């Protein structure tokens, strides 16, 4: 319900991004839990404080990245790393 209040307070032109931010956050929390078999968006509280959503640029495109972590203030992003060549 608190998310609905935030949505209602969001400007009309920003609501699409708001919904995507909340959705990616809920997915990150779901994946961190790892024990649930079904993704039910209302089961994940994006206001809990252990979630960080960032805008990440790749070339001229921007993406939203949500990370569920116990240390949301100390998040590091690495760019241009070819992980496949490390295997």
Report pLDDT for 87. 45
Following DSSP, what letter does each residue of the chain receive, concatenated?
-HHHHHHHHS-GGGHHHHHHHHHHHHHHHHHHH---SS--GGG--TTSSSEEEEEEEETTEEEEEEEE-S-GGG-----S--SGGG-
Residue 47 has what pLDDT?
77
pTM for this model (two decimals): 0.65
Position 86 scores a pLDDT of 47
Q: Provide the pLDDT for residue 7.
A: 93
Ranges of the chain with pLDDT below 70:
49, 72-87
């Amino acid at each position: 319900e608190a998310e609905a209040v935030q949505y209602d307070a969001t400007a009309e032109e920003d609501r699409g991004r708001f919904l995507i931010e909340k959705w990616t956050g809920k997915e990150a929390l779901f994946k961190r839990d790892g024990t649930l078999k079904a993704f039910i968006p209302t089961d994940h509280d994006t206001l809990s404080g252990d979630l960080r959503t960032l805008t990440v640029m790749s070339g001229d495109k921007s993406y939203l990245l949500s990370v569920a972590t116990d240390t949301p203030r100390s998040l590091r992003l690495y760019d241009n790393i070819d992980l496949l060549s490390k295997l």
